[in-house]
Amino acid sequence: MKKWILGIILLIAAALGVTWFSMDKDTRNLAANLPTNSDVLFWTIPQRDAAFRAIDRIPALAKSSIIEAGDKVYPMPKGAPLGIADLDGYMKTQRTAGLVIVHDGKIRVEKYGLDFDGNGKWTSFSVAKSLTSTLVGAAIKDGYIKSLQDKVTVYIPEMKGSAYDDVTVEQLMTMTSGVKWNEDYEDKNSDVARFNTHKAESGIDVTVSYMRKLPREAPAGTKWVYKTGETNLIGVLVSKASKKTLSQYLSEKIWAPFGMEQDASWLLGSTGHEISGCCIQASVRDMARFGLFVQGGGKVGGVSVVPDGWFASATTKQADIGAPGAGYGYQWWTFDDGTFAAQGIFGQGIFFDAKRKLVIASNSNWPRATDEKSKADREAFYKKVQAAIDAEAAAAR
């Protein structure tokens, strides 16, 4: 009997060993540092390092939907390397996994850290908000959404009787609904934390279930408060209006026809809808390509995916956020010098400078979700890149 039990144990061990060594390095690293709960805000740094590149591979953490790429890849040829002092030091202090700098359509810098590479996909966090916003533009162009001045309840009737009765789609886009919300990433009792564990009412989408119970704190249109839950509500609105999943619609309108290199994925909430305020897993190069799509006015093959002038409105200040020189557009962070950005917690971002034909896409794992020093260092780095491009232009004259 003892020999039989020992034999079974050895067989199980051998099977586990085969399984372990058949995994790719990212999956093995995730298995070794597997988070013990689904609340990403409170994972350790090693858990985040492992999970941010592979979170869509563990259904127990989160299920996901595929955003299909097409057969043709939008070209981003290599340009001359852009000279930036102490780039390695910057990436180390930022804990950067991937950095792609595109200038005038050419890759001037492509560099990776944290044992990540160009074939991998990293989660976007709130960078996804700006992609969701772009799908609103597409839905208006396609006639699914009639006007930004429509009430939210026109498209999500389950919100009737809530604080959102008088809120327009535009106010949802600019986060000026006046509905009360707490986005403190380090408070386990904040809305952004409790939202993730909310149990939906029977037959109701989890976002709708949570958001329709929130109280009002200011008249609609009068107060800006950053609310991830409202972007999730925008995603529900787009899906209901278009009668398509967000993954399907993003693939159909942008990901496949524009020419993204890899399939991406989008994490799903507990009731099966994409978490539209967060969590698109994509390569850094493909996020840079999305930047080029935006910089080109949202066109595929010369045909506009969004209404004329959409990005001019979406990426300029629509709401005062109480910060000098900055504002909020339609789910984009805006700056008074004409630059703008998509930004996500822990250091994800796409920075745009149309005047310099510059796109900077980067993924990181900052020590804290909204680490102020890391944020300031990143902004200083953007200025350093701009200065390097200006110096080149001056030398060429």
CB 284 within 8 A of CB 361: yes
Q: What's the pLDDT score for residue 32?
A: 80
Given a cut of 80, is residue 22 above it in pLDDT? no
Q: What's the pLDDT score for residue 24?
A: 75
State pTM to two decimals. Answer: 0.92
- Location of structure tokens 């799908």: 135
Given a cut of 90, is residue 133 above it in pLDDT? yes
Indicate if 15 and 47 belong to the same structural domain.
yes
pLDDT category at 29 given cuts 50, 70, 90 is confident
User: Above pLDDT 90, what percent of the chain?
Assistant: 84
Conformation bin of residue 382: beta by default, left when phi > 0, alpha when psi is -120 to 50: alpha
Of the residues 62, 79, 94, which one is the last residue of a structural domain?
Answer: 62
Listed residue (123, 126, 131, 114) closest to 283, CA to CA: 123
Of the residues 62, 93, 111, which one is the last residue of a structural domain?
Answer: 62
Indicate if 156 and 178 belong to the same structural domain.
yes
**How far apart, in whole angstroms, are the C-alpha atoms of residue 251 and residue 138?**
12
pLDDT category at 60 given cuts 50, 70, 90 is confident
Q: What's the pLDDT score for residue 142?
A: 98
Indicate if 81 and 205 belong to the same structural domain.
yes
**How far apart, in whole angstroms, are the C-alpha atoms of residue 232 and residue 247?**
14
CB 51 within 8 A of CB 31: no
Write out the residue range of the structural domain in which residue 95 sits: 65-396
CB-CB neighbours of 52 under 10 Å: 27
Indicate if 39 and 86 belong to the same structural domain.
no
Number of compact structural domains in the chain: 2
> Which letter does DSSP use for residue 159 in this model?
G
Phi then psi for 108, rounded to 5 degrees? -95, -30
CATH number of the domain residue 297 falls in: 3.40.710.10
In this predicted structure, which of 26-40, 100-114, 299-313, 364-378 has the lowest mean pLDDT? 26-40
Phi then psi for 62, rounded to 5 degrees? -165, 140
Indicate if 248 and 106 belong to the same structural domain.
yes
Proportion of the chain in helix, strand, coil states, percent, rounded to 5: 40, 15, 45
Return the bridge partners of 98, or none: 112, 363
Indicate if 284 and 366 belong to the same structural domain.
yes
**How far apart, in whole angstroms, are the C-alpha atoms of residue 291 and residue 289?**
5
Task: Report pLDDT digits (tens) over 154-182.
Answer: 999 999 999 999 999 999 999 999 999 99
- Location of structure tokens 């102490």: 86
Q: What's the pLDDT score for residue 14?
A: 45
Three-state SS for 310?
helix
**How far apart, in whole angstroms, are the C-alpha atoms of residue 253 and residue 293?**
11
Mean pLDDT of the chain: 92
Indicate if 240 and 262 belong to the same structural domain.
yes
Phi then psi for 317, rounded to 5 degrees? -60, 120
Indicate if 74 and 52 belong to the same structural domain.
no
